[in-house]
């Protein structure tokens, strides 16, 4: 049986590639609600695309109020002659998502083009998470077309707002029985037996009216999402003398970052650009985007811009205090140590601190922060640890999102099975189950773990410009997923 379904995956390689290209071409960034599209038209279109393809291939497919959907087969008990003698309501779930984060800037390839170059498919969502969803679909197709009838139902669940608030998954699970066990291919290999807790919040500081002559900060904005390392940040200043602009331009030309940490040395090369806009001066910092769970893979443009702003003599004391706060207590640190929350534990390592967005709006400046905290803690302890610093600078805190950590013993039978499959396909006998900072749909139901799709030796292009998946790895993922489905339902 195994040789048969693995062979079928190879035979459908071109079809798999085309499906992913077509799915990537749908811009499924969450948008304002529309009729029959609670997460925007693009997200709804992506769901319709997958469900229609599944029905055309003979799968059962269901749309749950446009908040999510699923594709499934199996759930039948057969006798020795292949006749159905019973059914099962036990469900093995593969939980993925079709929404993607905003594309960001400076792509070499069309972010929604599905362009193939150098053996890779480029586009937003190729690895997070449309590519793995397509791989899981073709794994199911190969098994079904090989005649495999699993006793347990195999269900590919399609989430629609994983990158934001999970309202879709909550609605879906309120209408459909949760899977009994399974995996989500939305992280990395090998098997992941724990995920750090996640908290998203805003820090707000009131900014009084600017009076007097000098340099005034008129605008400040950066970042696309809390769970992304900001690749762009912009400030606009207004001065009463042209000489002040010339001085700022000189500082920008000479700017070299000397504040970044050893784990974020790429920020040493960050640059500041200036240009006049009317009677004002625009200051732009360019960074490198990365997933908020792994900020060491990027360069935070907000931190670069804040580092530069401290070199400018701004006349508003509240603004200066905010800039001081940022550089003294956040800066380029990634573990929250200077905020008072530099926790770590043995199972999961250090806390991860990422500033995803900043905006000066009206009389307040807002920072949106995403923290991944160790599995032995809770968010109350993290908030409590930060309060002395927050209070020192007269800042307010707005709690937006909280997800508790999850943890499964490394010797759990499902973890051991997934590890065996990973080792068989890669030959890697050294790796052990891991704990990650990312937040996946493994948190959506009990007995779900993250498994795949990024291999240890490969870079993680999630949330970055020029996101891609290697075609060979797309096919390998499909084979690994097929074996996982077979072994866990056989």
Can you give the pLDDT at residue 290?
A: 87
**Rounded-to-10 torsion of CA 22, 25, 31, 37:** -30
Can you give the pLDDT at residue 210?
A: 84
Q: Which of 30, 99, 163, 307 is labelled catalytic?
A: 99
CA angle 405–452–90, rounded 5-degree value? 75
The number of C-alpha atoms within 13 Å of 194 and in the hemisphere containing its C-beta is: 22
Condensed to tens digits (0 to 9), the pLDDT of residues 90-130 reads: 999 999 999 999 998 899 999 999 999 999 999 999 999 99
75 by DSSP, 3-state: which? coil
> Any catalytic annotation for residue 186?
no
Can you give the pLDDT at residue 259?
A: 57
Buried-state track 360-382, b at ≥16 Cβ within 10 A, e below 16: beeebbbbbbbbbbbbebebeeb
Can you give the pLDDT at residue 271?
A: 84
Can you give the pLDDT at residue 262?
A: 58
With contact defined as beta carbons under 8 Å apart, do 160 and 68 qualify?
yes
> Any catalytic annotation for residue 467?
no
Q: Which of 162, 163, 186, 379 is labelled catalytic?
A: 162
Condensed to tens digits (0 to 9), the pLDDT of residues 31-47 reads: 999 999 999 999 999 99
With a cut of 70, which residues of the chain have pLDDT below it?
257-269
With contact defined as beta carbons under 8 Å apart, do 349 and 435 qualify?
yes
Whole-structure pTM value: 0.79
Structural domains of the chain in order of their starting residue, each with its CATH number: 2-196+406-489 (3.40.630.10), 198-401 (3.30.70.360)
């Amino acid at each position: 049986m195994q040789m048969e379904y693995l062979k079928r995956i190879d035979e459908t390689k071109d079809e798999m590639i085309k499906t992913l290209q077509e799915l990537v071409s749908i811009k499924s960034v969450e948008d304002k609600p529309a009729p029959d599209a609670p997460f925007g038209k693009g997200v709804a279109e992506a769901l319709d695309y997958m469900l229609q393809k599944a029905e055309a291939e003979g799968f059962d497919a269901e749309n749950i109020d446009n908040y999510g959907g699923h594709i499934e087969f199996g759930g039948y008990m057969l006798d020795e002659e292949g006749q159905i003698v019973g059914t099962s309501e036990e469900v093995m779930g593969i939980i993925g998502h079709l929404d993607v984060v905003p594309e960001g800037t400076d792509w070499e390839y069309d972010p929604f083009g599905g362009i193939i170059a150098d053996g890779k498919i480029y586009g937003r969502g190729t690895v997070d998470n449309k590519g793995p969803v397509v791989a899981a679909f073709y794994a199911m197709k190969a098994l079904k077309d090989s005649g495999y009838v699993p006793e347990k139902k195999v269900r590919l669940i399609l989430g629609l707002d994983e990158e934001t608030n999970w309202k879709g998954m909550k609605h879906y699970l309120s209408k459909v029985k949760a899977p009994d066990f399974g995996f989500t291919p939305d992280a990395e290999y090998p098997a992941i037996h724990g995920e750090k807790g996640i908290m998203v919040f805003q820090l707000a500081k009131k900014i009084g009216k600017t009076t007097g002559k000098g340099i005034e900060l008129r605008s400040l904005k950066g970042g696309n999402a809390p769970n992304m390392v900001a690749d762009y940040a912009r400030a606009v200043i207004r001065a009463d003398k042209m000489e002040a602009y010339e001085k700022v331009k000189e500082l920008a030309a000479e700017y070299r970052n000397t504040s970044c940490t050893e784990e974020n040395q790429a920020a040493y090369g960050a640059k500041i650009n200036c240009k006049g806009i009317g009677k004002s001066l625009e200051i732009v910092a360019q960074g490198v985007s990365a997933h908020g769970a792994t900020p060491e893979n990027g360069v935070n443009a907000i931190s670069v811009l804040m580092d530069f702003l401290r070199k400018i003599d701004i006349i508003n004391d509240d603004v200066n205090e905010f800039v001081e706060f940022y550089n003294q207590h956040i800066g380029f640190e990634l573990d929250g140590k200077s905020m008072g929350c530099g926790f770590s534990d043995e199972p999961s390592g250090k806390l991860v601190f990422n500033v995803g967005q900043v905006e000066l709006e009206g009389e307040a400046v807002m920072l949106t922060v995403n923290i991944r905290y160790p599995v032995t803690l809770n968010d109350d302890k993290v908030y409590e640890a930060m309060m002395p610093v927050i209070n020192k600078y007269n800042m307010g805190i707005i709690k937006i999102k909280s997800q508790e950590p999850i943890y499964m013993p490394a010797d759990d039978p499902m973890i051991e099975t997934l590890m065996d499959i990973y080792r068989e396909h890669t030959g890697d006998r050294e790796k052990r189950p891991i704990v990650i900072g990312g937040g996946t749909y493994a948190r959506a139901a009990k007995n779900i773990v993250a498994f795949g799709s990024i291999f240890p030796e490969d870079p993680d292009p999630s949330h970055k410009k020029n996101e891609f998946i290697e075609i060979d790895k797309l096919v390998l993922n499909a084979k690994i997923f097929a074996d996982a489905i077979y072994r866990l339902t056989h």
